[in-house]
Amino acid sequence: MSKASTVTSYRPPPPGEIPVKRLVEVGGSGSTYDFFDRLEIGRYHEGRFQAGVLMVRDPTVSSHHCVISQDRDGTCFVLDTSRNGTRIDGRRLSPNSKTELKVGQVLSVGQRLELRLDGEDVMRSSPEETTGSQTMGVSNTTIVTVLVGDIRNFTTLVQTAPATVLQESVARVFARLERAVVAHGGTLKEFQGDALFAFWEQGSTRNHAAAACGAALDLHRLADELARDPS
């Protein structure tokens, strides 16, 4: 498998506040991927990189496939937001819900990527990258404008619509929303459940706050169009 590229987008906690966790690729190169509070996995797109995402060259991997995170007590969870599913030790996860990832368990993404959660917390005095691993963190502060939105009445939809139909519909909606964010120079950080998180860094556009506001207005108009679309 072609190795993924990673791009960071968040400031990590001070060393020692949250331990660094490590995912080890099973088979292949045995590469390791370190993260602090979260790591997202998504499909690689030529010429475009998403912040905070481990990009995978695999057509069966969704653009926003899953998110691995850890709580303050060090417990790790996987949130599956994919179309084709994510598995832990061969068991497919329930979509749009968190499942605990325990030490030694293997996370399967797409056809070829398997990652095992290492049993030892990685000791680091700083979040700088070291040889043989990639640390998901940066040490400088950046001014950003953040856009957050979610799907109205999503809880009701979850309770009434078939899971496969709902998942396909949400994927189509998010794909159109993502294009609107990118068109305004923004970076889509993640989809989590029914929520969208995007940001604009200072310097990414002439006026990052105005660009975010323009995207918000376009998303509102797009949401009205989608609400009138019976498909």
**3-state DSSP assignment of residue 225:** helix
Q: State the pLDDT at residue 11.
A: 35
Residue 120: pLDDT band (50, 70, 90) is low
Whether residue 48 is found in the same domain as residue 156: no
Whether residue 148 is found in the same domain as residue 47: no
Residue finishing a domain among 76, 108, 136: 136
Residue 75: how many other CB atoms lie within 10 Å: 11
CATH code for the domain in which residue 105 is found? 2.60.200.20
Rg of the chain over CA atoms, in angstroms? 18
Whether residue 18 is found in the same domain as residue 131: yes
Whether residue 112 is found in the same domain as residue 161: no
Q: State the pLDDT at residue 52.
A: 60
Q: State the pLDDT at residue 50.
A: 57
Residue 46: pLDDT band (50, 70, 90) is low
Q: Does 207 fall in a domain? A: yes
Residue 177: pLDDT band (50, 70, 90) is confident
Residue 120: how many other CB atoms lie within 10 Å: 10
Whether residue 47 is found in the same domain as residue 157: no
Q: Does 21 fall in a domain? A: yes
Residue finishing a domain among 136, 155, 183: 136
Tell me which residue of 10, 2, 19 sits closest to 117, measured CA to CA.
Answer: 19
Q: State the pLDDT at residue 14.
A: 44
Q: State the pLDDT at residue 1.
A: 40
Classify strands 32-35 and 106-109 as parallel, antiparallel or unpaired.
Answer: unpaired
Q: Does 80 fall in a domain? A: yes
**3-state DSSP assignment of residue 86:** strand
Q: State the pLDDT at residue 101.
A: 96
Instruction: Note down the domain range covering 211.
Output: 144-228
73-116 pLDDT, tens digit each: 889 999 999 888 999 999 999 988 899 999 999 999 988 889 99
Q: Does 81 fall in a domain? A: yes
What's the one-letter identity of residue 61? V
Residue 42: pLDDT band (50, 70, 90) is confident
Whether residue 67 is found in the same domain as residue 105: yes
Whether residue 24 is found in the same domain as residue 132: yes
**Average confidence score pLDDT of the chain:** 75
- H or E stretch including 149? strand 144-150
CATH code for the domain in which residue 191 is found? 3.30.70.1230
Whether residue 70 is found in the same domain as residue 118: yes
Whether residue 172 is found in the same domain as residue 122: no
Whether residue 167 is found in the same domain as residue 198: yes
Whether residue 126 is found in the same domain as residue 176: no
Task: Judge contact between 101 and 91, C-beta under 8 A.
Answer: no
Q: Does 31 fall in a domain? A: yes
Q: Does 165 fall in a domain? A: yes
Higher pLDDT, 178 or 48: 178
- Give dist(CA 49, CA 230) in Å, integer: 33
Q: Does 1 fall in a domain? A: no
Residue finishing a domain among 117, 136, 155: 136
Bridge partners (DSSP) listed for residue 144? 201
- Give dist(CA 182, CA 179) in Å, integer: 5
Write the CB contacts of 156 (distance below 8 Å, at least 6 apart in sequence). none
Number of domains in the chain: 2
**DSSP for residue 110:** T
**Does 6 have pLDDT greater than 50?**
no
- Give dist(CA 95, CA 215) in Å, integer: 28
The end-to-end CA distance of the chain, in Å, is 36
Whether residue 169 is found in the same domain as residue 192: yes
Is the C-alpha dihedral spanning 132, 133, 134, 138 positive or negative? negative
